[in-house]
Structure 1
Amino acid sequence: MSDDLISDPASDPERGTSTEPLSRAIGERYLTYALSTIMHRALPDARDGLKPVHRRILYAMRELRLAPNGPFRKSAKITGDVMGNYHPHGDAAIYDAMARLAQDFAMRYPLVDGQGNFGNIDGDNPAAARYTEARLAATSEALMDGLTEDSVDFRPNYDGTLSEPIVLPAAFPNLLANGASGIAVGMATNIPPHNLHEVVDACLHLIKVPDARDDTLATLIKGPDFPTGGVLVESAESIAETYRTGRGAFRVRARWAQEDLGRGLWQIVVTEIPYQVQKSKLIERLAELIQTRKIPIFADVRDESAEDIRIVLEPKARTVDPEQLMGALFRASDLELRFNLNMNVLIDGRVPKVCSLKEVLRAFLDHRREVLVRRASYRLDKIASRLEVLEGYLIAYLNLDRVIEIIRTEDEPKAVMMAEFGLNDVQVEAILNMRLRALRKLEEIELRAERDALKAEREGLQAMLDSEDAQWARIADQLKEVRNLFGKSHAKGQRRTTIGEATELPVIDLDAMIDREPVTVILSKMGWIRSMKGHQPLEAELKFKDGDGPGQALHAETTDKLMIFASNGRFYTLPASTLPGGRGMGEPLRLMIDLPNEAEIIALFPWRAGMKYLVASKDANGFVVNSADILAQTRSGKQVLNGEALLCRPVMGDHVAVVAGTRRMLVFPLAELPEMSRGKGVRLMKLNPGGLFKDELLADAITLTLTDGLSWPMGGGKTRTEPDLSEWLGKRAAAGRMAPRGFPRNNRF
Structure 2
Amino acid sequence: MGKSELPPGGGDHIQPVDLRIALEERYLAYALSTIMHRALPDVRDGLKPVHRRIVHAMSEMGIRPNSAYKKCARIVGDVMGKFHPHGDQSIYDALVRLSQEFAIRYPIVDGQGNFGNIDGDNPAAMRYTEARMTEVAALILEGIDEDAVDFRPTYNEEDREPIVLPGAFPNLLANGSSGIAVGMATNIPPHNVHEICDAALHLIKHPDATVENLVEFVQGPDFPTGGTIIESRASILDAYATGRGGFRVRAKWNLEDLGRGGYQIIVTEIPYQVQKSRLIEKIAELLIARRLPLLEDIRDESAEDVRIVLIPKNRTVDANLLMESLFRLTELESRVSLNMNVLSMGKVPKVMSLKEVLVEWLAHRREVLVRRSRHRLAEIDRRLEILGGYLVAYLNIDEVIRIIREEDEPKQTMMARFNLTDLQAESILNMRLRSLRKLEEFEIRTEFDQLSAEKAGIEALLASDEKQWQTVAWEVGEVKKKFAKATPLGRRRTDFADAPSTDSAAIEQAMIEKEPVTVVVSEKGWIRALKGHISDHSGLQFKEGDSLKIAFNAQTTDKIIVFTTGGKAFTLGADKLPGGRGHGEPLRIMIDMENDQDVLTAFVFDAQRKLLVSSHLGYGFIVPEADLVANTRKGKQILNVAMPDEAKLVTHAIGDHVAVVGENRKMLVFPIAQMPEMSRGKGVRLQRYKDGGVADIKVFRMDDGLSWDDSAGRNFNRTKDELSEWLGDRAAAGRTVPKGFPRSGKFAG
Q: Structure 2 length as normaliser, TM-score? A: 0.72
- Residue type matched to 1:65 in 2? G
Alpha-carbon deviation of 1:295?
2.9
Tell me, in whole angstroms, the C-alpha distance in 2 between the residues paired with 1:455 and 1:421.
Answer: 22
Tell me, in whole angstroms, the C-alpha distance in 2 between the residues paired with 1:8 and 1:88.
Answer: 38
Structure 1, residues 68-99: CA drift from partner, whole Å, max 9, x if none?
Answer: 11111111111111111111111111111110
- Residue type matched to 2:89 in 1? A
Change (3 A) 1:283 1:4: farther
Query: Partner of 1:742 in structure 2?
Result: none
Residue 232 in 1 paired to residue 217 in 2?
no
Structure 1, residues 581-614: CA drift from partner, whole Å, max 9, x if none?
Answer: xxxxx9xx9xxxxxxxxxxx7525999xxxx999
The alignment partner of 2:481 has SS state of helix
Change (3 A) 1:630 1:72: farther
- Residue type matched to 2:373 in 1? A
- Residue type matched to 2:382 in 1? S
Change (3 A) 1:639 1:500: closer
Change (3 A) 1:407 1:199: same
Alpha-carbon deviation of 1:411?
2.5
* 1:325-404 to 2 correspondences below 5 Å: 325-404=322-401
The alignment partner of 2:489 has SS state of coil
Change (3 A) 1:157 1:572: farther
Equivalent of residue 195 in structure 2, options 198, 206, 224: 198
Query: Partner of 1:277 in structure 2?
Result: 274
- Residue type matched to 1:164 in 2? E
Change (3 A) 1:302 1:5: farther
Change (3 A) 1:23 1:639: farther
- Residue type matched to 2:330 in 1? S
Structure 1, residues 618-641: CA drift from partner, whole Å, max 9, x if none?
Answer: xxx77525769999989xxx799x
Change (3 A) 1:215 1:515: closer
Residue 462 in 1 paired to residue 443 in 2?
no
Query: Partner of 1:624 in structure 2?
Result: 598
Tell me, in whole angstroms, the C-alpha distance in 1 between the residues paired with 2:167 and 2:519.
Answer: 67
Query: Partner of 1:51 in structure 2?
Result: 48
Tell me, in whole angstroms, the C-alpha distance in 2 between the residues paired with 1:61 and 1:122.
Answer: 28
* 1:361-510 to 2 correspondences below 5 Å: 361-509=358-506
The alignment partner of 2:216 has SS state of helix
Contact 1:4 1:21 in 2 (8 A): no
Query: Partner of 1:566 in structure 2?
Result: none
Identity %: 56
Alpha-carbon deviation of 1:472?
0.4
Change (3 A) 1:121 1:579: farther
Residue 110 in 1 paired to residue 107 in 2?
yes
Tell me, in whole angstroms, the C-alpha distance in 2 between the residues paired with 1:613 and 1:51.
Answer: 53
* 1:177-326 to 2 correspondences below 5 Å: 177-326=174-323
Alpha-carbon deviation of 1:61?
1.1
Contact 2:556 2:573 in 1 (8 A): no
Alpha-carbon deviation of 1:293?
2.2
Moved more, 15-24 or 175-184: 15-24
Question: How many residue pairs end up in the alignment?
Answer: 592
Change (3 A) 1:486 1:652: closer
- Residue type matched to 1:624 in 2? D
Alpha-carbon deviation of 1:208?
0.6
Change (3 A) 1:277 1:446: same
Change (3 A) 1:555 1:441: same
The alignment partner of 2:455 has SS state of helix
Residue 603 in 1 paired to residue 600 in 2?
no
- Residue type matched to 1:232 in 2? I
Query: Partner of 2:19 in structure 1?
Result: 22
Change (3 A) 1:400 1:262: same
Tell me, in whole angstroms, the C-alpha distance in 2 between the residues paired with 1:291 and 1:369.
Answer: 59
- Residue type matched to 1:229 in 2? G
Contact 1:48 1:175 in 2 (8 A): yes
Tell me, in whole angstroms, the C-alpha distance in 1 between the residues paired with 2:167 and 2:469.
Answer: 16
- Residue type matched to 2:402 in 1? E
- Any gaps of 5 or more consecutive residues in structure 2? 521-527, 540-550, 562-569, 606-626, 636-645, 650-694, 696-749
Tell me, in whole angstroms, the C-alpha distance in 1 between the residues paired with 2:168 and 2:7.
Answer: 49
Tell me, in whole angstroms, the C-alpha distance in 1 between the residues paired with 2:591 and 2:145.
Answer: 82
Contact 1:46 1:175 in 2 (8 A): yes
Structure 1, residues 89-116: CA drift from partner, whole Å, max 9, x if none?
Answer: 1111111111000000010000000011
Alpha-carbon deviation of 1:534?
7.0
Residue 157 in 1 paired to residue 131 in 2?
no
Change (3 A) 1:445 1:274: same
Change (3 A) 1:195 1:5: farther
- Residue type matched to 1:30 in 2? Y
Structure 1, residues 410-463: CA drift from partner, whole Å, max 9, x if none?
Answer: 232222211211112211111111111111111111111111111111110010
Change (3 A) 1:136 1:512: closer
Contact 1:4 1:22 in 2 (8 A): no
Alpha-carbon deviation of 1:294?
2.0
Tell me, in whole angstroms, the C-alpha distance in 1 between the residues paired with 2:11 and 2:628.
Answer: 76
Change (3 A) 1:6 1:233: farther
Tell me, in whole angstroms, the C-alpha distance in 1 between the residues paired with 2:228 and 2:99.
Answer: 24
Alpha-carbon deviation of 1:225?
0.4
Alpha-carbon deviation of 1:234?
1.7
The alignment partner of 1:334 has SS state of coil
Tell me, in whole angstroms, the C-alpha distance in 2 between the residues paired with 1:171 and 1:8.
Answer: 61
Structure 1, residues 291-312: CA drift from partner, whole Å, max 9, x if none?
Answer: 2222322222111111100111
Alpha-carbon deviation of 1:489?
3.5
Structure 1, residues 339-397: CA drift from partner, whole Å, max 9, x if none?
Answer: 11111000011101110000000110111111111111111111111111100001000
Tell me, in whole angstroms, the C-alpha distance in 2 between the residues paired with 1:8 and 1:336.
Answer: 63
The alignment partner of 1:102 has SS state of coil
Change (3 A) 1:352 1:614: closer
- Residue type matched to 2:365 in 1? R
- Residue type matched to 2:274 in 1? V
Query: Partner of 1:747 in structure 2?
Result: none
Tell me, in whole angstroms, the C-alpha distance in 2 between the residues paired with 1:292 and 1:86.
Answer: 52
Change (3 A) 1:531 1:285: farther
The alignment partner of 1:147 has SS state of coil
Tell me, in whole angstroms, the C-alpha distance in 2 between the residues paired with 1:481 and 1:151.
Answer: 19
Tell me, in whole angstroms, the C-alpha distance in 1 between the residues paired with 2:147 and 2:46.
Answer: 20
- Residue type matched to 2:195 in 1? E
Change (3 A) 1:606 1:29: closer
Alpha-carbon deviation of 1:408?
2.0
Tell me, in whole angstroms, the C-alpha distance in 2 between the residues paired with 1:284 and 1:575.
Answer: 28
Tell me, in whole angstroms, the C-alpha distance in 2 between the residues paired with 1:145 and 1:8.
Answer: 60
Tell me, in whole angstroms, the C-alpha distance in 1 between the residues paired with 2:254 and 2:89.
Answer: 40
Change (3 A) 1:30 1:613: closer
- Residue type matched to 1:363 in 2? E
- Residue type matched to 2:342 in 1? V
Change (3 A) 1:613 1:48: closer
Equivalent of residue 144 in structure 1, options 138, 141, 145: 141
Change (3 A) 1:208 1:25: same
Query: Partner of 1:38 in structure 2?
Result: 35
The alignment partner of 1:29 has SS state of helix
Query: Partner of 1:73 in structure 2?
Result: 70
- Any gaps of 5 or more consecutive residues in structure 1? 523-528, 541-552, 564-570, 581-585, 590-600, 641-650, 655-705, 707-749
Tell me, in whole angstroms, the C-alpha distance in 1 between the residues paired with 2:326 and 2:442.
Answer: 76
Change (3 A) 1:614 1:188: closer
- Residue type matched to 2:281 in 1? E
Tell me, in whole angstroms, the C-alpha distance in 1 between the residues paired with 2:537 and 2:302.
Answer: 49
